[in-house]
Amino acid sequence: MDGERLFCDTALAARIEHAEARFVAACSAAARVRLGDDLGFARPLAGGVATFAEAGSPFDKVAGLGFAGLPDPAELDEVEAAFAELGAPVQVELSQLADAAVGALLTTRGYRLESYENVLGRRIGDSDFPADVRACRDDELETWLSAVAEASLVADEQGLPSHEDFPRELLVNALRDMAGVRRYLAERDGEFAGGASFRITDGIAQFSGAATLPAHRRRGVQTALLRARLAAAAEAGCDLAVVTTQPGSKSHQNVQRQGFDLLYARAILVKGTSATSSSGADSRQAS
């Protein structure tokens, strides 16, 4: 399987987007538990989901549209009203392989194209677990969260900049709220060099929350973290690994070197004023 290029048709894209919708819904639910309130929500919408975790969170979005027909205008009205009531814009992440009529519908409703992100994937094959990467222990969680958030704040200069810019506290919250993920850390010379995580949904290993501290970049840390998660995903019985990156970024280059193929792009369509200026800690990576 390692040498086989992965072709993405609409069925595979639908599988990946449905897994993404389940992931963000779970993260939104985790945020509601952490906050102890019922302000957030996860609403089904035309085969996808509209979620709100907390103000400015990367999990405030609509995911998974375009593979189960057009959203009902009345349901869209309700979703838009729910975001507006909380003072948040509506951000739709729409797959390039989704029904084009969905994009046309959103445009007529005042959504604007703000950015793109790439979804890459590869079939799971044999992979060795690197010696310099290990699972994050429970007593290391706060260190992991803090270090990965700090590393994510220092953007890599290669590739297009992210359309979002999150404060450190929100990044820590988002990383904490990633429901059901397995976390890993890489060390260099006895120091924390980088961290990453992944979640399993319907046999898909969803790589997420990866970042390398600036002092350790260009030293193979992200490659080691990728290899570790591929090995763990294989052991867990996954058949597919997916990751989201900024177009043309170092992370994009790193995952392609590990056999990931570009499957499709997502268009980021926004209605309302963005709470953040420039997609988020769930799956974007800083190398």
- Mean pLDDT in each 10-residue stretch from start to end of the chain (287 residues)? 80 98 98 94 98 96 98 97 96 98 97 96 91 96 95 71 75 96 95 96 95 90 95 97 93 92 98 55 40
Could you tell me the CA-to-CA distances from 181 to 3, 9, 198, 229, 283 in Å, in that order?
28, 27, 5, 11, 12
pLDDT for residue 286: 43
| Under 8 Å between Cβ of 142 and 273 | no
Tell me the whole-structure pTM to 2 decimals: 0.90
The pLDDT score that the predictor gives to residue 171 is 94
pLDDT of the residue at 77? 97
Residue 71, token pair as written in the block: 């959203």
pLDDT at 3: 57
Bridge partners (DSSP) listed for residue 230: none
pLDDT tens digit sequence for 229-242: 999 999 999 999 99
Q: Which residue ranges make up each domain of the chain?
A: 10-118, 123-263
Sequence-distant (≥ 6) Cβ neighbours of residue 180 within 8 angstroms: 26, 199, 200
Structural Rg of the chain based on CA atoms = 18
Looking at residue 167, what is its pLDDT? 86
pLDDT at 156: 63
CATH topology of domain 123-263: Aminopeptidase (3.40.630)
What is residue 238's predicted lDDT score, i.e. its pLDDT? 97
